[in-house]
Structure 1
Amino acid sequence: MPIVRAGESYALDRDLPVDAALAFWHAPGNAVFVAEMDGRVLGSYFCRANKDGGGRHVANCGYATHGAATGRGIARAMALHSFDHARAAGFRTMQYNFVIATNVRAIGLWLSLGFEQVGRLPGAFDHPTLGEVDALVLHRRL
């Protein structure tokens, strides 16, 4: 998975084997979706409960968009679809626990879609070229 290999937006080992990356994406409890155009997969996301028990009403998602899809609205379409899916699954809010602060394109999208930054984790992510950078916690009601 190129997004994992780049090491800039997911807190996963950059040399994670493909089967382990797919196991992470398709972990039990994850509902997985793909975005395709003209028979080509341009993105994917998973949606799951952020926590068990008293936190099970909060959705958490992970998104990946193919580099060729940048600027084509694929990430926005997946986000909007994930909101609909989460509502239909009974979630009342959505929270992203660890959004890398240097991922400004994604942060801009999330803020434009009604997320609020509710936390900042100083130096929580070891970026492959920038060193320690902050991670954000984002939240929105569904």
Structure 2
Amino acid sequence: MAPQPSLARLSPLIDRFAFAGLPVEVRISGDPRQLPAGIDVTAYRIIQEALTNALKHGHGGKTEVTVRYAEHALRVEVLNGGPSVLTGGSPGPRSTGVGTGPKAEGAGRGLLGLRERVAVYGGDLDARRRLGGGYRVRARLPLDRP
């Protein structure tokens, strides 16, 4: 039986993506602390899904993962590179980060499931193409809910 996914196990996850050819830079800010189990797993899954999409649909550019421990919320952001919306970069399968076809921004099944999971904890998740190129997945998970 494998241990439950957790931000404490973020390094091996990042290593697997780096080994697969996706350069990843990680930033942790604030004071890392014990999180409620559901929020901890959700944050890990957000990063896992965003990195999977970056590897699958990205253009091989660097991907940045930021985890911010704030007083009342945990914030997770994953940014990856790709063609710029402003320069007419194609929103095809290699640049949207969510698949092919006329789906709405951030409407892939993995991201939809994450939105639902984040909503259970009273948080929000935003996933969209970046004007300067690439894709951004950003989530806020409240830490002070009863």
Higher RCO, 1 or 2 (CA under 8 Å, sep at least 6)? 2
TM-score (norm: length of structure 1): 0.34
TM-score in terms of structure 2 length:
0.33
